[in-house]
Amino acid sequence: MAWVMRFFVSFILFIVTHIQLSNGLKSRSDFPTGFVFGAGSSAYQIEGAAAEDGRKPGIWDNYTHAGKMVDKSTGDITSDQYHHYKEDVKLMHKMGLDAYRFSISWSRLIPDGHGAVNPKGLNYYNNLINELVSYGIEPHVTLSHLDIPQSLQDEYDGYLSPKFIEDFTAYADFCFKEFGDRVKHWITFNEPNIQTVGGNDLGDIPPSRCSYPFGVDCSIGNSTTEPYIGVHIILLSHASAVQLYRAKYQEIQRGQIGITILAFWYEPVSGSPKDIAATQRMLEFHLGWILDPLVYGDYPATMRNIVGSRLPLFTKNESEQLKSSCDVIGLNHYSALPIKDLPRTFSKYGSDYVRDISVKGLFLKPMLHRQEPMSHFDSRSLQRLLEYVKVKYKNPAVVIHENGLPAHGENYNAQALKDTKRVEYLQSYIRSLLLSIRNGSDVRGYFVWSFMDCFEILDGYESHFGLYAVDFNDEKRKRYPRMSAKWFTSFLTKEKNSAGISSY
């Protein structure tokens, strides 16, 4: 059968080379020295071992165990990286990754959210970090990736209470102290700008709160106020952890710290002034909600005008603290979404985040994960996003923390492994990224979402983004490289080709 294999390998190489030539993107050496290429995951989505070695539930465990996912799935086992991290780090090394982006499960490390540390949790993250470092792969660590301990949710409604600031800061302190000698890249929170929209307005991700008539299945919550309170407390928690890192660790450990936001680009569906204004409103609510406080010390004026007294105020001190609280900003970018103006509707229940923006096209779930297949991507969305961030937010240091293409259905049959569309998508986006850098955007790194198939937060196991496929029916969770893994490997490990990207 050897000739079959040889034929298969040359066929793959032919395809890969062909795609490369047709896109003009040759290798990573087109990028500035020091630019970091990696791939990512998050704790609940990839670790498994959910009730093992002293870990207690996070809000995702309770949510999935209540049967709330479309496919009724859980992250109890998922890709089981907890038991396979050595094998996975070898695969990362083979791929030529400079960095691996992952998150720490707060309830694995400090099971009740505060108080006693779980020694086995501490041991796991030390092992993972050491394994990465031993292969020269930089750990890029997120402290809270859409997940917090269920006990803090039960105790005081999690990030709706100012008590959360102190607990988060203490947890961050512990992580800096234990891991900061080896971890030089910290992110406090992942995607606060969707966490509270999904978790506290629409109620379709944990903690699954909302109020009639705004969300789905609302028994507890307040959609009109909680999304704004939640982001406010998360921002203050971020600023507090950063202040501590700067005062106590940064000078010695020489690391960087920031926050990561979901960053779609938005395009008006028409040239009408109303649709153009709606698109700007969408950008202010989606990006400005987080970036304005981080750069200018307050929420956008548009939001203050529309949301009024439901939007919390910052004290002068808090403003000052926020303004300088990011060494780097992470952007999770997938695509552009079309925006159409909708007249603002009021009801006796008031208004929620969605009605505050009053646009059609906000509904991320159908737009991102149900659109099948996402065949009409246009990677200029990334260039437009980066240009907007550069101009509006004083050209901050940026890392693309997520970029990738979903596929649906069977995840590891022959067809699912031959993910040519994903190869085209990644190539196209990486090329756009390079053009943005050449046009002055200060981008420091790029991470594919995701390193391997895992529990996806909107679709469970019904969609997959991995460079590696995982056989979820196999007890051993065998990993299979997709064509995209082979392409990324060749992109990362190939010597510089003299033609470069300019020949495109």
Ligand X SMILES: *[C@@H]1O[C@H](CO)[C@@H](O)[C@H](O)[C@H]1NC(C)=O
Which residues are identified as catalytic?
A: 191, 402
Sheet containing 265-268: which strands, arranged edge to edge?
Answer: 265-268, 336-341, 359-360
Among 222, 237, 240, 256, binds ligand X (CB under 6 A): 222
Q: Please answer whether residues 289 and 305 qualify as being in contact, where contact means their C-beta atoms are separated by less than 8 angstroms.
A: no
Closer Cβ to ligand X, 88 or 157, answer by number: 157
* 161 contributes a contact to ligand X by CB under 6 A: no
Report the alpha-carbon distance of residue 86 to residue 125 in Å, rounded.
12
Report the alpha-carbon distance of residue 120 to residue 130 in Å, rounded.
15
Closer Cβ to ligand X, 62 or 428, answer by number: 62
Q: Name the E strands within 179-281.
A: 185-190, 256-262, 265-268
Q: Which of residues 386-415 bind ligand X (CB under 6 A)?
A: 387, 391
Q: How far is the CB of 150 from ligand X (least distance, A)?
A: 5
Options 134-142, 168-176, 220-228, 234-242: segment touching ligand X (CB under 6 A): 220-228
3-state secondary structure of 69: coil
Options 34-42, 163-171, 217-225, 476-484: segment touching ligand X (CB under 6 A): 217-225
Q: Please answer whether residues 480 and 419 qualify as being in contact, where contact means their C-beta atoms are separated by less than 8 angstroms.
A: no
* 317 contributes a contact to ligand X by CB under 6 A: yes
Among 45, 211, 253, 484, binds ligand X (CB under 6 A): 211
Which of 354, 332, 347 shows the shortest CA–CA distance to 259? Answer: 332
Q: How far is the CB of 206 from ligand X (least distance, A)?
A: 10
Encoding tokens for residue 194? 């969707």
Q: How far is the CB of 372 from ligand X (least distance, A)?
A: 31
Q: Report residue 289 CA to chain centroid gap.
A: 17
Q: How far is the CB of 212 from ligand X (least distance, A)?
A: 7
Q: Which of residues 429-468 bind ligand X (CB under 6 A)?
A: 439-440
Closer Cβ to ligand X, 63 or 412, answer by number: 63
Among 38, 40, 48, 57, binds ligand X (CB under 6 A): 57
Which of 89, 86, 62 shows the shortest CA–CA distance to 76? Answer: 62
For residue 6, the tally of other CB atoms under 10 A from its CB is: 10
Closer Cβ to ligand X, 305 or 317, answer by number: 317
Options 12-20, 93-101, 383-391, 461-469: segment touching ligand X (CB under 6 A): 383-391
Options 18-26, 221-229, 370-378, 486-494: segment touching ligand X (CB under 6 A): 221-229
Which of 12, 8, 14, 79 shows the shortest CA–CA distance to 47? Answer: 79
* 62 contributes a contact to ligand X by CB under 6 A: yes
Q: Which residues contact 252 (CB under 8 A, 6 or more apart)?
A: none
Q: How far is the CB of 225 from ligand X (least distance, A)?
A: 4
Size of the site for ligand X (CB under 6 A): 14
* 309 contributes a contact to ligand X by CB under 6 A: no
Q: Which of residues 224-283 bind ligand X (CB under 6 A)?
A: 224-225
Closer Cβ to ligand X, 76 or 181, answer by number: 76
Closer Cβ to ligand X, 84 or 209, answer by number: 209
* 13 contributes a contact to ligand X by CB under 6 A: no
* 383 contributes a contact to ligand X by CB under 6 A: yes
Q: Would you say how long the chain is, in residues?
A: 504
Q: Which residues contact 97 (CB under 8 A, 6 or more apart)?
A: 37, 38, 39, 137, 451, 492
The values of phi and psi at residue 354, to 5°, are -65, -45
Q: Strand 336-341 vs strand 398-402: parallel, antiparallel, or unpaired?
A: unpaired
Report the alpha-carbon distance of residue 294 to residue 192 in Å, rounded.
13
Indicate the Cα dihedral angle 86, 146, 425, 378, nearest 10°. -170
Q: How far is the CB of 432 from ligand X (least distance, A)?
A: 10
Q: How far is the CB of 62 from ligand X (least distance, A)?
A: 4
Among 64, 105, 150, 381, binds ligand X (CB under 6 A): 150
Encoding tokens for residue 377? 């991507």
Closer Cβ to ligand X, 150 or 484, answer by number: 150
Closer Cβ to ligand X, 121 or 139, answer by number: 121
* 313 contributes a contact to ligand X by CB under 6 A: no
Closer Cβ to ligand X, 373 or 440, answer by number: 440
Options 75-83, 179-187, 218-226, 460-468: segment touching ligand X (CB under 6 A): 218-226
Alpha-helical runs (H) found in 414-471: 414-417, 420-438
Report the alpha-carbon distance of residue 469 to residue 418 in Å, rounded.
11
Cross-strand partners of 187: 142, 258
* Cα angle 168-171-174, degrees, rounded to a multiple of 5: 150
Q: Which residues bind ligand X (CB under 6 A)?
A: 57, 62, 150, 154, 211, 222, 224-225, 317, 383, 387, 391, 439-440
